[in-house]
Amino acid sequence: MNVQERLGRRKEEARAGLEVARGKTAAPPAFDRSAVAAFAKSIDRACVLKGGGADALAAAAVIKVLGKREGGRDVATGDARFDHPIIIENPPRPLWLVAAMLLGHDDLQVPQQDDFATRLAALIAGLARGGADKLTILPSPRLKAVGAFVQRLLERIPVVNGEPNGKKSDYAIDRFFVSMALASEQHDMTYLAEAGHPVVQWKLASPDEISAEIVRWQIVNAMLDQLLPPPSAVEATQMPAEPSLRAKGLALFAPPDHAHVLRAAAGTLGEQAAISPAGWIAAQLALGDPGDHVALGIWLPREIEDDLSALQGAIRNVTRLACTRAFEYVRPDPRGIFLLLTSGEAPTRDLPAGRALRIHTEDGDPARILESLRDAAKMLSRK
């Protein structure tokens, strides 16, 4: 299929999505703004907001994008980098608005409807039905934290977060790219449309519009619940308590039958590959078929984010599969190839049978995992 044919097909899928969504509406979750404002006023010093899920990731994005105004309080959602904070176990919801008001942005505008969000959801659904079902988030540097929020929020479609920008030829035809940036940033992804990929991008006039961006994606999520079926069920497997391979300071965990498959497949890459973590990882990645995606579930320090992004690009380029990542979370998907990167305990249930490999650094050093991932990508590039 040439570029013009692909563009024509994607336009038809987009039009079909808009038609199916005609007349449908959705709204973001309701909340009590006055209660949030009253709570924020009651806090007089630095604090850590405890919470989880998409709401906590939205709060993290707000903290990153807005920063503290004069008169505001220091706020964190994870480990605090300031002295003697108040730990708030059950703050009111939404957590992201609490964070904004504590930072001093109590005049933040929070829209309750967004026609663009409705159309965006229709495009996502229409293109997903046609095969462009890997929603790939390409935010600008200032809005990078939005990607993790969107990935955790949307459950009806695989969301690719953290991949570095690639060349037009780096991507398979299963992508729908969305890009957002602040008006002050140079950030243009339209070059991807030249290869026939669907691309939608927009700019936020100022950092204060982060509230509208969060609401936009909440509306998209509510619309997708109407437009797309629930995620497919997976035939789950349980990781064994003992590793199937120990080498180079790493312990690799896989069910016995899957470990046998990986050992045999790694052997085709060379005698040493069959007993090396990189060989097993390469064999795991090689299991992917066109239309699958690779998911990195990460239980390692967040300081390695830049290294992970580069590795996602390398994995994408050698496998032609979308490669996403999430910290301390992984969403089961029958089309996912899962690599769980750990230095401690991590939940490993409910992942598809024969599609998950846990890679554990026994001395806590994430560099060992990163090195083996790089070596695995190199092995596949020479295949």
The bridge status of strand 159-160 relative to strand 293-299 is unpaired
92 and 139 within one domain:
no
Write down the mean pLDDT value for the chain.
94
How far apart are alpha carbons 50 and 56 in whole angstroms? Answer: 8
The pLDDT-based confidence of 1 (bands split at 50, 70, 90) is low
Q: Which residues contact 359 (CB under 8 A, 6 or more apart)?
A: 250, 252, 277, 281, 339, 340, 341, 342, 369, 372, 373
Among 50, 73, 102, the domain-final residue is 102
Token pair belonging to 110: 């929070």
For residues 245 and 272, state if they share a domain.
yes
With a cut of 90, say whether residue 351 has pLDDT above it: no
* Statement to judge: residues 78 and 185 lie in one domain: no
Band of the pLDDT at 130, cuts 50, 70, 90?
A: very high
CA distance to 65, 106, 184, 189, 269, per residue, from 140 (Å): 11, 25, 10, 10, 38
Residues 250 and 148 in one domain: no
Q: How many domains does the chain have?
A: 3
* Position 18 in a domain: no
Does 8 map to a domain?
no
Q: How far apart are CA 77 and CA 207, in angstroms?
A: 19
Residue 202 forms part of a structural domain: yes
Amino acid at 101: M
User: Within a 10 A sphere around the Cβ of 257, how many other Cβ atoms?
Assistant: 10
Instruction: Measure the CA–CA gap between 327 and 302, rounded to whole angstroms.
Output: 8
* 309 in a structural domain: yes
359 vs 248: CA distance, rounded Å? 12
Residue 15 forms part of a structural domain:
no
Instruction: State the virtual CA torsion across 103, 105, 111, 112 in degrees, nearest 10.
Output: 50
Please say if the pLDDT value at position 315 is more than 70.
Answer: yes
Question: 365 and 283 in one domain?
Answer: yes
Domain match, 251 and 375 both: yes
Identify the band that residue 47 occupies on the pLDDT scale cut at 50, 70 and 90: very high
Q: What confidence score (pLDDT) does residue 232 get? A: 86
pLDDT at 5: 78
Average pLDDT over residues 188-200: 92
Residue 231 burial (10 A CB sphere; 0-12, 13-18, 19+)? middle
353 — pLDDT class (breaks 50, 70, 90): confident
Beta partners for residue 204, in sequence order: 182
Q: Quick check: helix, strand or coil at residue 170?
A: helix
Q: Are residues 355 and 245 in the same domain?
A: yes
Q: Model confidence over 95-117: pLDDT tens digits? A: 999 999 999 999 999 998 899 99
* Residue 20: inside a domain: no
* Alpha helices, DSSP H, located in 299-365: 305-319
Structure confidence at residue 224 (pLDDT): 98
224-251 residue pLDDT tens: 999 999 988 888 778 888 999 999 999 9
Give the residues across from 179 on adjacent strands. Answer: 201
Which range among 80-84, 138-142, 240-244, 282-286 shows the weakest confidence by mean pLDDT?
Answer: 80-84
Is residue 210's pLDDT more than 90? yes
The average pLDDT across 134-157 equals 97
> What integer pLDDT is reported at residue 256 of this predicted model?
92
Q: Residue 273 falls within a domain, yes or no? A: yes
The last residue of one of the domains, among 102, 132, 157, is: 102
**Is residue 334 a part of any domain in this protein?**
yes
What is the band of 348 on the pLDDT scale with cuts at 50, 70, 90? Answer: low
User: Do residues 287 and 266 touch, judged by C-beta distance below 8 A?
Assistant: no
Contact, 231 vs 333, CB < 8 A?
yes
Q: How far apart are the first and last CA of the chain?
A: 26
Would you say 225 and 202 are in contact if contact means Cβ atoms under 8 Å apart?
no
What is the C-alpha to C-alpha distance for residues 260 and 372, in angstroms, rounded to an integer?
Answer: 19
* Same domain (yes/no): 188, 120: yes
- Using the predicted structure, report yes or no on whether residue 347 has a pLDDT greater than 80: no
C-alpha 280 chain-centroid distance: 24
Query: What are the phi and psi torsion angles at 341 (to 5°)?
Result: -105, 115
* Last-in-domain residue among 181, 209, 227: 227
CA distance 363 to 361: 6
Amino acid letter at 329? Y
Same domain, yes or no: 276 and 316: yes
C-alpha 300 chain-centroid distance:
16
Instruction: Verify that 256 and 311 share a domain, yes or no.
Output: yes
pLDDT value of residue 216 = 97
Same domain for 132 and 83? Answer: no
Domain of 183?
111-227
Instruction: Specify the CATH number for the domain of residue 185.
Output: 3.40.50.10490
Domain containing residue 301: CATH number: 3.30.379
Q: What is the pLDDT of residue 82?
A: 85
pLDDT of 66 higher than 70: yes
Check whether residue 240 and residue 378 sit in a common domain: yes
Report which residue type is found at 220. V
